[in-house]
Structure 1
């Protein structure tokens, strides 16, 4: 189906997601690096000022400012590809749901948004997991560390040689579990947008031919402030529920994960035994500090690209 401006909704969704992934990654990659370092830290103690300690160690021992952009290439590839694929699949899934509801005239429900987002997240996670394995390994070690990947191509070559194809799918199980994060986030995001639109309806009074007054409601277009607040609230909600899976995924994607853990269940048991509940929330501080700006940038770029892309093309 093609919109009145000549661009299909799927194309607009894909380009908007792809653009949002690139912009958010370029802006916030250093915070992602710090978060990853904390997530893969297996020490039983959680020292105060962990983020500042990691920042100091990186700048002191790994080459200054440039070291904070190690792994930028796979991060850009991963985020842009993931968001592009995600919004493409998400848009298609919503179209299917709308077609299903067409006969009864109902709007999409929370369960529809949850299912559409979950489906998109599942497909995206399976297709992009190899990129995240390389990204996690590059971010979790300095460029001078023994065996560290010097580039994405080097990472691909070494994984194939030492671990085979299976190496690209380490951490997939917790990543699939993490699909619930995106599903919860988008369910909340869509419902908050609907709720906000109803809060800002404009009532216009006019008179019909017979003199009867009518007051149809017109939904006001949401602005950047609305998207800013709504995206932040939905991300905080989803992140608070599902953060431990990110720690588990990062642990299983490190260089020596196959030597330390026998699988996801063993990793959970070891983290619990050695680090307790706090172990599942390592890196939460910088993650919260990172994900909210990342979410704001991603959704503002995404929503504005959807609006302005057709105008730029035509």
Structure 2
């Protein structure tokens, strides 16, 4: 009788070569963003300070029905090409940096290494966001109500010609202000839940799904106000409001949101953001661990 050797998750995670982590991260990132993209479209539209009543949605179901009826189901996938092109390299850098910094900081040692894990997560975010930010700007310009863009390349050329290269990075400080704590919270919660659920260190896909989903939901909820500000900055060029078009950074975005919508404005898109990140984060971690095992065993 053949004895099947049990695969230990912790052994795979801490000893996987950097190239394996990067390739697994790239595949996981593409999978995550592509699957949950329609909900991300709804989130973006709910966050935009729209002047037209036709662009104001009361919830996920309302937005899904109205967008599909008025613009067709294809509108829910507009901009996905930008995410696919950018997410692969960005997630490769993200997970590669995470694994490298975690190892250097001692995060793979036995015991609760939350400081090393948080440092690794924050470092991964700084590196990957520098690469992903322009693609995110293009994506959101294509997602907004009545967007004129149907091609990411046309969108990129138009934004560059009319607003300059700065438009692709106007939201980068806000993005980092949001995603550094997001990633630190996400990775810390993920590692804590994973260790609690899987103290033996065995490879357990269910653990990755539950830990990843809960970590994503917590991190998404905490950072939603910053995401609203980021959306305002990234879509400012599509607005007919001169004050929004002239916003120069995070403080301007906060001021405009507060003046127009008060405290409630900072929770715009909370439900689709959480709904997006819980399953997408679960899928991302599941895909990441799966592809890492698959690539190593190939």
Q: TM-score, normalised by structure 1?
A: 0.81
CA distance in 1, matches of 2:158, 2:190: 40
Structure 1 range deviating more: 37-46 or 128-137: 37-46
User: Could you list the runs of 4 or more consecutive aligned residues of structure 1 that deviate by over 6 angstroms after TM superposition?
Assistant: 43-48
The answer (yes or no) to whether the contact 2:21–2:92 under 8 Å persists in 1 is: yes
Larger helix proportion of the pair? 2
How much does 1:42 deviate? Answer: 4.2
Q: TM-score, normalised by structure 2?
A: 0.85
The answer (yes or no) to whether the contact 2:32–2:284 under 8 Å persists in 1 is: yes
Q: Name the residue aligned to 1:33.
A: 41
Return the index of the structure with the highest Cα Rg: 1
How much does 1:81 deviate? Answer: 2.5
Q: Name the residue aligned to 2:224.
A: 243
How much does 1:77 deviate? Answer: 2.0
Q: Identify if the C-alpha distance between structure 1 residues 18 and 261 changes in structure 2 by more than 3 Å, giving closer, same or farther.
A: same
Indicate which of 58, 64, 69 corresponds to 2:67.
58
Superposition map of 1:68-83 within 5 A: 68-83=76-91
CA distance in 1, matches of 2:192, 2:60: 34
The alignment status of 1:194 with 2:202, answered yes or no, reads: no
RMSD between aligned alpha carbons?
Answer: 2.6
Q: Name the residue aligned to 1:201.
A: none
CA distance in 1, matches of 2:52, 2:153: 34
CA distance in 1, matches of 2:64, 2:129: 29
Q: Name the residue aligned to 1:115.
A: 119
The total of aligned residue pairs comes to 279
CA distance in 2, matches of 1:173, 1:8: 32
Q: Name the residue aligned to 1:228.
A: 209
**5+ residue gaps, structure 1:** 199-218
The alignment status of 1:286 with 2:286, answered yes or no, reads: no
Structure 1 range deviating more: 285-294 or 112-121: 285-294
CA distance in 1, matches of 2:51, 2:203: 46
Superposition map of 1:1-314 within 5 A: 9-42=17-50, 49-62=58-71, 64-98=72-106, 109-142=113-146, 145=147, 148-178=148-178, 179-198=180-199, 219-254=200-235, 255-256=237-238, 259-312=245-298
How much does 1:282 deviate? Answer: 0.8
Q: Identify if the C-alpha distance between structure 1 residues 43 and 184 changes in structure 2 by more than 3 Å, giving closer, same or farther.
A: farther
The SS at the match of 2:136 is helix
